[in-house]
Structure 1
Amino acid sequence: MPEMHFRVRWPDDSTSVCYSPSSTIQEAFVLQQAYARDEFVQRSRDALLHASERVAQKYGYGCGHALAQIAEIERRAQQYPPQSTVTVEAFGV
């Protein structure tokens, strides 16, 4: 399971580099597509939980970094109105 980073552009045009313990994060997003804030959070949560479960299947415990990334995405997203959009700009950054 290769870990992967992905770059997110937030509604205020700032960016974050996020972490996933698995490249399966690429299945959750289409690059350069704008997602409504809540959809982005849900897709991130689902993909990162799935990746953590894959780690647990292989190593016997989930990925704490993935859970921390979910919390950070949720915290950051709350700063913006629900109608705002978030874009995944790149994988493997």
Structure 2
Amino acid sequence: MPEMTVTVRWPGGQVDDLYSPSLVMHDYLNTGSAYTVQDFVARSTEALTLASERVQARFGYFCSSAADTSTRIKSRAATFTDDQLVEVLNMTPDLPSQER
């Protein structure tokens, strides 16, 4: 399965690289966009759950790294208010244009 990294800037200015075992994050987030903390948590949690389910369907077990990323996001998000903004700086690898 293709893995990916999503680089975000939290409201406090800290930049984080977040792991996903699937490119599904592209279906939920866009590079260059900003999301409220609440929306970012909801979108990323849903995407990472789906990514883990894809791993389970292919390999027979859920992806613990996706769960760890989701926990890390929720923990960091708890230090901000729901309406502050999280910026998506980069998503690597990018999708070929015909898949978007």
TM-score (norm 2): 0.89
Query: Is 2:75 the counterpart of 1:75?
Result: yes
**Which consecutive segments of 4 or more residues in structure 1 shift more than 4 A?**
none
Residues 6-21 of structure 1: pairs in structure 2 closer than 5 A: 6-21=6-21
Give 1:6 shift.
Answer: 1.0
Give 1:53 shift.
Answer: 0.2
Q: Distance in 2 between matches of 1:11 and 1:37?
A: 8
Q: Distance in 1 between matches of 2:92 and 2:31?
A: 12
Q: Which amino acid aligns with 2:2?
A: P
**Can you list the C-alpha shifts for 1:10-63, whole angstroms capped at 9, x where unaligned?**
001110000000011111111111101110000000000000000000000110
Please state whether the residue corresponding to 1:49 is helix, strand or coil.
helix
User: Can you give the 5+ residue segments of structure 1 that lack an aligned partner in the other structure?
Assistant: none
Q: Which amino acid aligns with 1:71?
A: T
TM-score (norm 1): 0.96
Give 1:82 shift.
Answer: 1.5
Residues 15-34 of structure 1: pairs in structure 2 closer than 5 A: 15-34=15-34
Number of equivalences: 93
CA-based RMSD? 1.0
Give 1:74 shift.
Answer: 0.1
User: Can you give the 5+ residue segments of structure 2 that lack an aligned partner in the other structure?
Assistant: 94-100
Q: Which amino acid aligns with 2:7?
A: R
Specify the alignment match of 1:88 in structure 2: 88
